[in-house]
Amino acid sequence: MFLDLIKIFVPTTLAFFLGLTLTPIATHFFYKYKMWKRYSRSGNDAAVDFQKIHNEEQELKTPRVGGIIIWVSVLLVIALFYFISVLFPSLGTEKMNFLSRNQTLIPFFTLILGSILGLWDDLIQIYGKGSFARDDKSWRKWKAFLVSFIALLIGCWFFYKLGMTSIHVPFGGDLTLGILIIPFFIIVALATFSGSVIDGIDGLSGGVLASIFGAYTVIAYANNQIDIATFSGVLTGATLAFLWFNIPPARFYMGETGMIGLTVTLATLAFLTDTVLILPVIAMPLVVTTLSDIIQMTSRARRGKKVFKLAPLHHHFEAIGWSSAKVTMRYWIFGVIFAIIGVILAVTS
């Protein structure tokens, strides 16, 4: 047990300090190549309330690819312990290597593939022209399709390679899905991906995601899935390093290279720890954010009226007078509370 805790603690701490070390180098690169959005969100079709709370000058002068710091830190930490175990084989080095076929290979693959897709999206909005550079509806549909394709590959791996055919129902046993687990995973991946709209205020997404991955570190440890616990811990440490520089005023934004990779990886971890039905509790801030968008769009389409002054919900709170710092801090508290509740449910069910 003590060695397992060391295995989790050391890479997690290393990911945090590595992220802090990489940030000045990455920041210089981001600003040198002006890696911020070409077009602001406060265009002609933006709501008047959004224009009031939105700092257009800041958005067009702040790099949006800060998520690179997270996944590169994770990549380097994994590579370090893997190559140490290969070059200096021993019980100790093999113990510290947490890249394993049955636990962490798939979430690692998901993180890298999703992050590269997100980086492509960011670069389009930074250097591109036309409707795609404005993140219009057609490009969002393409992103959803590409996320679905990634999810299809992972779902097939779950079913055909890992033999995963059922999900755990809290306090109710297992529910067998058979091959339907593949489309079910696609749905869950798209649902977590939709939560990426939470990346709208300085420090918001980083704090929320850190608490979520921290929860999965504990859950995986309780399940004796030590490699997954270590991987989740490394994600937590890297995200906290990002957050260190994303606290208002943000030095950079997470961007899609962070949000797509992290949200789809989250869905993968939920399946591997058999807590997919508890995921909405652990990730409640993402759920609430997504639902507020859905409710707003549905109400406007069917009733011609808005439920919120602005959507997603965090912008509604800004529109009614809350400072961005107050919104962020309360979301963090909200996220930690539901992460704890989710851990309790996962461990006891």
Question: 207-234, pLDDT tens digit by residue?
Answer: 999 999 999 999 999 999 999 999 999 9
Tokens for 150, please give them.
């990634």
173-176 and 166-169: which strand pairing? Answer: antiparallel
Domain range for 146 is: 2-276
Q: Is this prediction's pTM over 0.85?
A: yes
- Residue 56: the pLDDT is 62
186/188 Cα distance (integer angstroms) = 5
> Residues 275-333: pLDDT tens digits?
999 999 999 999 999 999 999 999 998 988 899 988 899 999 999 999 999 999 999 99
Helix (H, G, I), strand (E, B) or coil at 311: coil
114/190 Cα distance (integer angstroms) = 12
Within 40-136, where are the H helices? 48-53, 56-59, 67-87, 91-96, 105-127
- Residue 334: the pLDDT is 96
E-strand stretches of 146-294: 166-169, 173-176
> Residues 110-140: pLDDT tens digits?
999 999 999 999 999 898 877 666 766 777 8
Domain assignment of residue 40, yes or no: yes
- Residue 129: the pLDDT is 77
Domain assignment of residue 292, yes or no: no
Domain assignment of residue 204, yes or no: yes
Domain assignment of residue 300, yes or no: no
**Helices 256-272, 226-246: inter-axial angle, 10-degree rounding:** 160
If we measure between CA atoms, which residue out of 18, 68, 42, 125 comes closest to residue 252? 68
Given a cut of 70, whether residue 41 has pLDDT beyond it is no
> Residues 143-159: pLDDT tens digits?
899 999 999 999 999 99
Domain assignment of residue 302, yes or no: no
Domain assignment of residue 191, yes or no: yes
Q: Please check whether residue 262 is in contact with residue 70, taking contact to mean a CB–CB distance below 8 angstroms.
A: yes
Q: Please check whether residue 37 is in contact with residue 59, taking contact to mean a CB–CB distance below 8 angstroms.
A: yes
Residues 257-282: what's their mean pLDDT?
97
- Residue 200: the pLDDT is 81
Residues 16-45: what's their mean pLDDT?
84
Domain assignment of residue 135, yes or no: yes
Burial class, 41, CB count within 10 angstroms (exposed 0-12 / middle 13-18 / buried 19+): middle
Q: Please check whether residue 164 is in contact with residue 287, taking contact to mean a CB–CB distance below 8 angstroms.
A: no
Residues 56-85: what's their mean pLDDT?
91
> In DSSP terms, which residues pair with 168 in a beta bridge?
174
- 44: confidence class by pLDDT, cuts 50, 70, 90: very low
Tokens for 296, please give them.
């707003």
Most confident range, picked from 54-63, 170-179, 215-224, 293-302: 215-224
For the chain, the domain total comes to 1
- 45: confidence class by pLDDT, cuts 50, 70, 90: very low
Domain assignment of residue 312, yes or no: no
Q: Please check whether residue 286 is in contact with residue 342, taking contact to mean a CB–CB distance below 8 angstroms.
A: no
Rounded to the nearest integer, the mean pLDDT of the chain is 91
